[in-house]
Amino acid sequence: MQPRILTAIILPVGMNSIRCKNKFNAYLYAMSVHKELKKITTRTLQELKINGEKIAMLTAYDYSMARILDEAGIDVLLVGDSASNVMAGHETTLPITLNQMIYHAQSVVRGVSRALVVVDLPFGSYQGNTKRALESSIRIMKESGAHAVKLEGGAEVADSIKRILTAGIPVMGHLGLTPQSIYKFGTYNVRAKEKAEAIKLKEDAQILEQAGCFSLVLEKIPANLATEVTQSINIPTIGIGAGSGVDGQVLVSHDMLGLNKGFHPRFLRRYLDLHSQILEAVNQYSRDVKSGSFPNEKEQY
């Protein structure tokens, strides 16, 4: 007679056990390794819109911050080309390169286990050339492991969107204030206040939906217009400075955490004043080093 073997297995959180017997009548515990943590997909965002639940999106550019934002339950992390401003200190988003975007995206992807990671196609990597748009998107997806790309513009980028989609890459659109066109606009003021521009924006939203975008960012446009666009299309809209009638909100994480001291547009809600807190902590550290009080006896080997 074979001995009966019963092995107790302590299961990590999120794993379920299924108990069954083997041919020797010993209990076996098979672990079903499906994760409790449900990953956000483009489909999830569609379901959220259908169910009237809001989508929370923030920008991320590095591993450590991405980990925290993901842990906090942010649905979508945007590796925005605003990295050009807040990470690299450029005045506009134009200088950042495809290689630099891929570097940021790789770092963010390594920090994420739940959120959908969307990466901005940088200026010059897609405009006016559908083949380049496809190649840039493939590089982002292949080299970073991100889940989708975003690009700016309406009818003029519809063919690029369609071509990117032929490779199975999900595309997020971006209308309203499109910072890559800052030299055309000449200002970062609210867009589409005039009737003609509002009509064009509504048409562009339809075109982007028909081209196959899974979602649409609406930046700095009147709240009424954003609500109207949101109700006129089936894909989720994510607003920044576009009021509350959209399907979700996005902010640049540096802005909402108070790292950008001099930047306080009306649409921005500050949840922290990290600038002051970091300044205070670093001043204290500097004083401690200079006075010799750091490190103390417990802080050495």
The reply on whether position 233 binds ligand KIV by CB under 6 A is: no
Binding residue for ligand KIV, selected from 45, 60, 65, 81, defined by CB under 6 A: 81
Binding residue for ligand KIV, selected from 42, 82, 107, 215, defined by CB under 6 A: 82
User: Do the Cβ atoms of 96 and 122 come closer than 8 Å?
Assistant: yes
User: Among 253, 281, 247, 285, which Cα is nearest to 268's?
Assistant: 253
* Cβ within 8 Å of residue 263, ≥6 positions away: 255
Give min distance, CB of 68 to ligand KIV, in A.
Answer: 17
Given the complex with ligand KIV, which of 49 and 150 has the nearer CB atom? 150
The reply on whether position 240 binds ligand KIV by CB under 6 A is: yes
The reply on whether position 75 binds ligand KIV by CB under 6 A is: no
* Cβ within 8 Å of residue 185, ≥6 positions away: 177, 191
CB atoms within 10 A of CB 258: 19
The reply on whether position 125 binds ligand KIV by CB under 6 A is: no
Peptide bond into 295 cis (omega under 30): yes
| Dihedral over Cα of 102, 106, 108, 114: its sign | positive
156 is catalytic: no
Give min distance, CB of 9 to ligand KIV, in A.
Answer: 45
Q: Give the active site residue among 194, 219, 228, 280.
A: 219
The reply on whether position 144 binds ligand KIV by CB under 6 A is: no
Give min distance, CB of 11 to ligand KIV, in A.
Answer: 40
Residue 182's H or E segment, with its range, is helix 182-185
Q: Which residues are catalytic?
A: 219
**Where on the chain is the footprint of ligand KIV (CB under 6 A)?**
59, 78, 80-82, 120, 217, 219, 240, 250, 252
